């Protein structure tokens, strides 16, 4: 294991320590003293081109963020010993009492492309039982099965990105504590898709994705 941090990390930290931290010192001290009380949980992709705090121009303490490949939420299940996404959702809803959960998908998603290739026989390596990525994106297979045969592959991949968001919202409802919070009015869930190239955000409303209106 290398003992030296990459230079870009060291330089980035130096800039933050010199400029960013002094500007936010009071905020961070208050958050340490009072604890975190985010109102929103964001489940986002690991993709380095998608940064929720930048997209929403947020500050420390505003969001409880969980990231995974293809911004997926699995169905509620206690099988297996380590369920990171499910644990994050449970903590957000039952401990932090967030008021909103947002599934934030995006264009050009490598995880979604991997699922598409796996389901069309183009990625046999993902079919192997030893593939962590393959078994994770199995959660997206129902979305692939919803696609019709009339679209081009490019159109199907775009649709699959959005189906993944819809499926994750559906799967959220399989968690009893999520369903209960929604029913008692303390929680709302939302699906968003971000067009990276054009910087446009789309929200899932009444079964279709519509551009978020900026007033």
Q: Is 117 in contact with 144 (CB distance < 8 Å)?
A: no
N- to C-terminal Cα separation, the chain: 51
64: which strand partners?
41
Long-range contacts of residues 18-25, Cβ cutoff 8 Å, at least 24 apart: 24/59, 24/60
**What pLDDT sits at residue 150?**
82
**What pLDDT sits at residue 2?**
55
SS3 201: strand
**What pLDDT sits at residue 1?**
53
- What's the predicted TM-score (pTM) here? 0.95
Please give the chain's pLDDT, 215 residues, in tens.
556 899 999 999 999 999 999 999 999 999 999 999 999 999 999 999 999 999 999 999 999 999 999 999 999 998 876 799 999 999 999 999 999 999 999 999 999 999 999 999 999 999 999 999 999 999 999 999 999 888 899 999 999 999 999 999 999 999 999 999 999 999 999 999 999 999 999 999 999 999 999 87
> Phi and psi at residue 204, in whole multiples of 5°?
-80, 115
What is 37-209's CATH number?
Answer: 3.40.1050.10
Distance between CA atoms of residues 21 and 13, nearest Å: 10
Question: CB count, 10 Å around CB of 36?
Answer: 12
Domain boundaries in the chain?
1-35, 37-209
Distance between CA atoms of residues 150 and 23, nearest Å: 54
Tell me, what DSSP letter sits at residue 39? S
């Amino acid at each position: 294991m290398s003992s030296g941090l990459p230079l870009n990390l060291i330089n980035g930290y130096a800039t933050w320590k010199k400029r960013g931290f002094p500007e936010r010192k009071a905020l961070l001290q208050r958050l340490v003293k009072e604890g975190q009380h985010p109102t929103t949980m964001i489940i986002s992709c690991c993709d380095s081109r998608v940064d929720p705090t930048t997209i929403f121009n947020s500050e420390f303490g505003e969001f409880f963020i969980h990231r995974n490949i293809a911004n997926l939420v699995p169905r509620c299940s206690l099988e297996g010993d380590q369920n990171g996404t499910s644990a994050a959702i449970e903590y957000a809803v039952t401990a932090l009492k967030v008021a909103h959960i947002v599934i934030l998908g995006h264009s050009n998603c490598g995880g979604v492309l991997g699922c598409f290739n796996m389901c069309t026989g183009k990625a046999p390596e993902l079919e192997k039982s030893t593939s962590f990525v393959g078994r994770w994106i199995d959660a997206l297979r129902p979305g692939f099965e919803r696609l019709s045969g009339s679209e081009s592959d490019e159109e199907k991949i775009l649709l699959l990105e959005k189906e993944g968001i819809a499926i994750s919202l559906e799967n959220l409802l399989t968690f009893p504590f999520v369903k209960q919070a929604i029913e008692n009015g303390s929680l709302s869930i939302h699906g968003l898709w971000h067009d990276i190239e054009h910087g446009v955000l789309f929200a899932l409303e009444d079964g279709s994705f519509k551009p978020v209106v900026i007033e």
